Amino acid sequence: MPQLNQHLVITNQTELLRIPVKHILYIKGDGYCSNIHMTGGEVRQVALNLGRIMELINNQLSEEQQLVRPSKSLIVNLSRVYRIQISQQLLVLADHNWNLYSVQDSREGLLALKKYIEDKTKL
């Protein structure tokens, strides 16, 4: 049986959403809702804020999970980060076919993400 910890599971009274983490590019907060952007261009809106989604991530996924929250409005899959452009406040992510996806974020959030990646790779 496949390991459930390779998936983010979001559920409510009428629906269960089970997303393989490797297919999540980023999750963008939108008030009380969040938009999950996935490889292939699919976007799924869920009625949870980013704080609640981070709780689910921390409870469901292993310590070496790839989803991090560099700013208050964004959760990013580290394995999908291709380029960080601080001056343009732009994050570029790539899927498994090297299709590129861009998302705007705060300068502070992108600096935090850049530092986190540099520290993890011991540059």
Candidates 86, 121, 122, 92; CA nearest to 106 is 86
| CATH architecture designation of domain 4-120 | Beta Barrel (2.40)
Q: What's the predicted TM-score (pTM) here?
A: 0.90
Query: What separation in angstroms does the CA of 114 have from each of 12, 31, 55, 80, 91?
Result: 34, 25, 23, 13, 10
pLDDT tens for the 123 residues of the chain, in order: 344 458 999 998 888 999 999 999 999 999 899 999 999 999 999 999 999 999 999 999 876 678 999 999 999 999 999 999 999 999 999 999 999 999 999 999 999 999 999 998 875
